[in-house]
Amino acid sequence: MLDRSCQPPRQRRQAARERRTRVQRNWRHRQAQGRIMVPVEVGAEILDLLVRLGWLDAALADDRAEIGKAIGAMIADAAR
């Protein structure tokens, strides 16, 4: 993790602005596509299920983004 304590205040403010801009851009993009982000609590049993069913590679079971993609793909497949 980046230690921001050594950055000058102006750089910290600029970095925060850039992050907010990126988050807002992503939100607007999802909104335009009719999509939303939702928090999902996932335990070991769900991760095991995703791996067993082939939705998630076991090597990626600690990657939050990959877990989210796997859950989204599984739900989208079930909705078809």
Model pLDDT for residues 24-76, shown as the tens digit of each residue: 999 999 999 999 889 999 999 999 999 999 999 999 999 999 999 999 999 99
Q: Judge if pTM exceeds 0.85.
A: no
What single letter denotes the amino acid at residue 52?
R
Q: Judge contact between 61 and 51, C-beta under 8 A.
A: yes
Task: Give the chain's length.
Answer: 80
Q: Using the 8-state DSSP alphabet, how is residue 39 labeled?
A: -
Secondary structure class of 61 (helix, strand, coil) = coil
